[in-house]
Chain A
């Protein structure tokens, strides 16, 4: 073991392979970043490139000066993500905790309900009808929050966390002291299961931040466009403009040419993923732990 070669050929080959894979994962992101800082005319001339041929911040200026739409979408997305994550994590924990208790009489019934919702879904149309015709939440901010509050998978993961982190004896002794179930939950259980709650909260954050499905189905009001959906709209509009530029007449065609269109599309992508990528180094290990527990242990 003393003469362990640190830099033998196969080790170098292995690391090279992984560095190439990492490059493949990061290159598209670098490309988009590069395009967002490129001069639009230069893009038209020499194509997309990860390293801007001619540096320009015009795309970002365009997004933030000419459009309070972007800022509104940002604020809305942050609001929905924070509120949605907090409420969702809490009610998932409150639903999962009783299911982890062996002495809970209705455990079978509610476990069955969770399984049923995992196995069968009514599908898009009935879901849409319920939201629009029964709950009337379309075109309200509630539509962006409520449909994602409960997720059977997260209940199962959370139940596993509770089972493995809350000793029965603690609950028993708290009961002896006369504490009610709600008090026990909020003052003891929640703290002991904090790592599990953090994992679920992170899953929820990603769900809310990355959502555009609700905007595609339940929202028509432009005031309620979130970041992802706005990015999708920008993409579609630019596509429309560039496809029809020829039919617009000389003056409008000139305007279209001068818009920082492709760079703005990519700048929009960058500001949407910015917070996730920046926070990523801090939260990624929680995820690794979370999916490991959720998928391997029961």
Chain B
């Protein structure tokens, strides 16, 4: 047996120039991302401002028991996951459809134009989107009631008092804002396919749907899977502005629009209930962490280059 002789390792020296460069970034990262990680102990305490954060009494899992006992715990978990799954399915399908449509256009200038227009909503904040939605759905003046429902002789719809309608409205708003963005990524992936494959297939008499199903989709399947898994990794987190601003913070809509993020915010800011909100927050962080690690393990199996670690 021949011994493995390792090549002599050059011992790297500390590079102080590079280390100094990283100081400002590291300080910011430490202050706003790492330091808060140590703050999760708050969830195990009964915070009493007179005793201070560190001096307050430990209460073990009391906060969690209170939180789990509320009906909210189930509702917000269900809403957060259900919305994410719907957004994922609808969003992926729509973005792929748009990208396939754009890929198939001969006029490249038109393609860029359509892409630019559909990408625009991505840059608008949720407060802006909430005003756009209001212009459409306002009971008295909204376009839907005044220009569609009333002319047809229907009774005006009180959109902001009808929680059962909001899963559709929010799905549509989310699609409106993100479909352009996601389709840009898919289109870029499609553009990197060797055009020779597609040309050869059409010379052989393959029609468009065969080309899509047999060539394009299989060749970009890695990109699709990675994007889907990245979103699944975030399944325990919601887009705060979509659920808080677009619903105009309407209490009547909470049953179908309250998510973990809006719950944590409202419990802290409106009720000042630190115990409950920090318990809900830690529950989100921990379960979210487990899910993202699992999703990443799957990504690693498929394409090691795309995984986070």
Contact = CB atoms under 8 A, between A and B. Distances in A.
A248 B262 CA distance: 32
Given A232-B245, A235-B131, A265-B131, A122 B123 contact: no
Interface string A114-127: 11111111111111
Given A32-B132, A265-B131, A291-B185, A122 B29 contact: no
Interface in B136-169: 136, 138, 140-143, 145-147
A168 to B, nearest CB: 14
Interface of A: 11, 14-15, 17-18, 21-22, 24-26, 28-29, 31-32, 35, 43-44, 46-49, 91-92, 94-95, 97-98, 101, 103-106, 110, 112-131, 133-135, 146-147, 149-150, 152, 155, 180-182, 185, 206, 210-213, 216-217, 228-229, 231-232, 235-236, 239, 262, 265-266, 269, 272-273, 276-277, 280-281, 284, 287-288, 291-292, 295-296, 298
B281 A287 contact: no
Contact of B21 (A26, A48, A181): A181
Interface of B: 12-15, 17-22, 24-26, 28-29, 31-40, 42-43, 53, 98, 101-102, 104-106, 110, 114-121, 123-125, 127-128, 130-136, 138, 140-143, 145-147, 176, 180-181, 184-185, 188-189, 192, 223, 227, 240-241, 245, 248-249, 261, 264-265, 268-269, 274, 277-278, 281-282, 284-285, 288-289, 292-293, 296, 305-306, 308-309
B289 A150 contact: no
A231 B125 CA distance: 11
A156 to B, nearest CB: 9
Contact of A235 (B25, B127, B145, B268): B127
Given A47-B147, A130-B39, A232-B245, A117 B268 contact: no
Contacts of A147: 32
Contacts of A103: 12, 15
A116 B172 CA distance: 33
B116 A48 contact: no
Contacts of B29: 95, 113-114, 117, 150, 152
A31 B132 contact: yes
B176 A43 contact: no
A35 B192 CA distance: 43
B118 A98 contact: no
A217 B266 CA distance: 11
A209 B154 CA distance: 41
A130 B35 contact: yes
B293 A119 contact: yes
16 contacts: A14-B101, A25-B176, A31-B136, A48-B135, A92-B25, A106-B14, A113-B29, A117-B34, A122-B37, A124-B277, A146-B31, A150-B28, A210-B124, A216-B269, A269-B131, A272-B128
B91 to A, nearest CB: 15
A292 B227 CA distance: 13
Given A122-B37, A123-B36, A124-B281, A284 B116 contact: yes
A228 B90 CA distance: 29
Contacts of A266: 131, 135
A101 B31 CA distance: 25
Given A31-B136, A122-B40, A117 B185 contact: no
A35 B53 CA distance: 50
A279 B163 CA distance: 37
Nearest to B10: A103
A31 B135 contact: yes
Given A123-B285, A231-B128, 4 more contacts: A104-B12, A122-B38, A262-B138, A296-B188
